[in-house]
Structure 1
Amino acid sequence: MIRVAYSGICCSELSGYLGKNSLRKPPMIFGHEFSGTIAAIGSRAEAGGRWHIGQRVTANPLVTCGHCEPCLSGRQQLCLSRQLLSAALPGSNAEYVKLPARFVYAVPDEMTLRQAAMTEPAACAIRAAELAAPKPADTVLILGMVPIGLLVLQAVQQYGVREIIAVDMNEERLAIARALGAKHLICPAAVDTLEEVKRLTGGAGVHAAIDAVGAGLTRKQAVLACRGGGRTVFTGLHEEESVLPINIAIARSLIRH
């Protein structure tokens, strides 16, 4: 049992609150990005000697069985009986949240609890960058400078990428993207996103496009912005269904996640 110190608000939870997300529906308690201190420990976890009351922790909010084929092969995110806090289990937008001890992680002394609450979204961003598999000389497009998009921006740079195009309707978010290392900024309110991508890449398109929004329009733009053999990564969870230019995706040999 963890006493919650900080709990983030995921965009997918905002859409769930508005009735636009099939994974998250009120009156389920939302919240899955959090940190806090241990308030109570079950007998088996206590016997392990790893945890103590008051210890600073964060957690993986995806509770998995540990014995199905995906779990045993290191793909726990595909567990046949997985349950996510805020979707299938009560989340962290509460005074307390509970989950099995094997999904709990100690927070290092040099990290604040506020920083620790960003562990889950940072992990999602790192995974998106991993799927995009950029090379240092690649041009990468990131749609949506929401928190995940800004974290993806930082994760992509760890691959040596410097040609990063950031897209958002909000000028303040674009300013943050610039400060974090985005080389090119696109505001769809001022210019057509795909035309600007075409101009910036000499008509070739980007090597990888990551959609951190999850809207039908941005998913379509991610596919259309890629050059042949590029990679399209979908990480936003806003709209349930989208119409995509599949023939173009097939013709260009795009990798879609």
Structure 2
Amino acid sequence: MKAIVFPDVEQTTVQDVDRPSCGPDDVLVKVVSAGICGTDLHIFRGEYMSSFPLTPGHEFHGEVVEVGDRVQRFRVGDRVTVDPNLYCGKCENCLNQHFNHCLNMDIIGVNRSGAFAEYVVAPERACYALPAQMSAKQATFVEPLACVVYALQRMHVNPADRVLIVGVGPMGLLLVQALRHSGASLIAVMDKQPHRLEMAQSMGANAAVVANDQQDKNLKALSPQGFDVVIDATGVPAVIENAFRYLKPRGQFLQFGVAPIGQTIQISPYDIFRNDWKIIGSFALCYTFQPAIDWLANGVIDVEPLVSHCVPLDDFAEALDMFARGQTLKVHLDIGSS
């Protein structure tokens, strides 16, 4: 089968590789489409937990083409999406329902072969049936939206809170839509790109600020005492460090964007103490696929405008480069058909 392979850091090729075999508890999925994610870019640059060679890809959906002998819930022809985080269910963290911190975690597209390929294999327990009416774009957004659902479970937006989202790429735009239903009185967004800010406002943001030398003044005009909730959706350390300036006392800071492993920021412990700040991390997801499917199926979250490019597998290298340069929103690889 055809697959994208990262042979090493900052190397990508299209190769013919062996089609994965289906174990007794597994489902073999013919990939229909897969989304390029910021995590894939970190993997490509050697900034994440992956080793090489690797076939990446963890946001995807497809059609079941083979099932193992012990599989009960799925049949050939079913449309599915797959939670790429494969928890062992036996370690101390799993037994405490901290599945996304499993001590024996396998992650499709991160430390085992992923979905930038014609076929991918996954355990039955990680597969989710898709509603018949769900579009391909919606189905490929289940995993990223599940990360947003988990992030909102990690924090708590109080009635009339003022929220600032820093960075409105595809994930930031999902956060805008999700937070629109949270009870916040103000959802402000900040980004360098005016067209992304315009899209954020069309999706429910109340105010938009261009990231430039006037941003401090403009944000202060919106919320003079700071924001109750500040969310970083960039993963850029310098941006993260600066974002604490906009957090009011007793505020919550959510680190949602993925920063490169090993990079650091400076923050004053006294400021954390004096301001009663709550700093929250949000790693991946934790059994939040079904809520994401329900949101999409019922039209609560609109993802169709977030897909700026759909490209074939052979054009992956060019698409990844455009994505890295900020010239796209979400890029979907069209790999097969269902």
Tell me the TM-score normalised to structure 1 length: 0.92
Matched residue, 1:56: 79
| Segment drifting more, 128-137 vs 204-213 | 128-137
Matched residue, 1:235: 256
Give the Cα separation in 2 of the matches to 1:220 and 1:140. 17
Offset at residue 116 of structure 1 (A): 1.0
Offset at residue 25 of structure 1 (A): 5.1
Give the Cα separation in 2 of the matches to 1:157 and 1:134. 11
Equivalent AA in structure 1 for residue 70 of structure 2: R
1:244 and 2:244 equivalent? no
Matched residue, 1:222: 243
Counterpart contact for 2:51–2:111, Cα < 8 Å: no
Correspondence for 1:4 among 26, 31, 37? 31
Offset at residue 122 of structure 1 (A): 0.4
Offset at residue 82 of structure 1 (A): 1.0
Cα deviation digits, residues 180-199 of structure 1 (max 9, x gap): 0111111113623x443222
1:78 and 2:101 equivalent? yes
Aligned counterparts, 1:41-52, within 5 A? 41-45=67-71, 48=72, 50-52=73-75
Counterpart contact for 1:24–1:87, Cα < 8 Å: yes
Correspondence for 2:151 among 94, 119, 128? 128
Q: Which consecutive residues of structure 1, in runs of 5 or more, have no partner in the other structure? A: none
Matched residue, 2:195: 172
Cα deviation digits, residues 125-158 of structure 1 (max 9, x gap): 1222232311230000111111111111111122
Distance 1:131 1:222, change over 3 A: farther
Number of residue-to-residue matches in the alignment: 251
Counterpart contact for 2:161–2:183, Cα < 8 Å: no
Give the Cα separation in 2 of the matches to 1:164 and 1:2. 39
Offset at residue 73 of structure 1 (A): 2.6
Give the Cα separation in 2 of the matches to 1:98 and 1:150. 30
Give the Cα separation in 2 of the matches to 1:94 and 1:40. 16
Structure with the bigger RCO (C-alpha within 8 Å, sep 6+) is 2
Give the Cα separation in 1 of the matches to 2:189 and 2:155. 15
Distance 1:222 1:20, change over 3 A: farther
Matched residue SS, 2:67 = coil
Correspondence for 2:48 among 6, 22, 38? 22
Offset at residue 20 of structure 1 (A): 5.0
Aligned counterparts, 1:68-147, within 5 A? 68-147=91-170
Matched residue SS, 1:161 = coil
Equivalent AA in structure 1 for residue 221 of structure 2: R
Equivalent AA in structure 2 for residue 59 of structure 1: V
Identity in percent: 30
Matched residue, 2:178: 155
Give the Cα separation in 2 of the matches to 1:195 and 1:128. 29
What RMSD in Å do the two structures reach over aligned CA positions?
Answer: 1.6
Correspondence for 1:199 among 205, 210, 221? 221
Distance 1:165 1:26, change over 3 A: farther
Matched residue SS, 1:35 = strand
Cα deviation digits, residues 96-146 of structure 1 (max 9, x gap): 111111000000122123211101100111222232311230000111111
Counterpart contact for 2:237–2:265, Cα < 8 Å: yes
Cα deviation digits, residues 63-82 of structure 1 (max 9, x gap): 01012232223221111111
Correspondence for 2:40 among 13, 17, 20? 13
Give the Cα separation in 2 of the matches to 1:182 and 1:190. 22
Tell me the TM-score normalised to structure 2 length: 0.71
Counterpart contact for 2:166–2:231, Cα < 8 Å: yes
Equivalent AA in structure 2 for residue 199 of structure 1: A
Matched residue SS, 2:74 = coil
Q: Which consecutive residues of structure 2, in runs of 5 or more, have no partner in the other structure? A: 1-27, 282-338
| Structure 1 stretches of 4+ moved >4 Å | none
Counterpart contact for 1:142–1:149, Cα < 8 Å: yes
Give the Cα separation in 2 of the matches to 1:170 and 1:40. 44
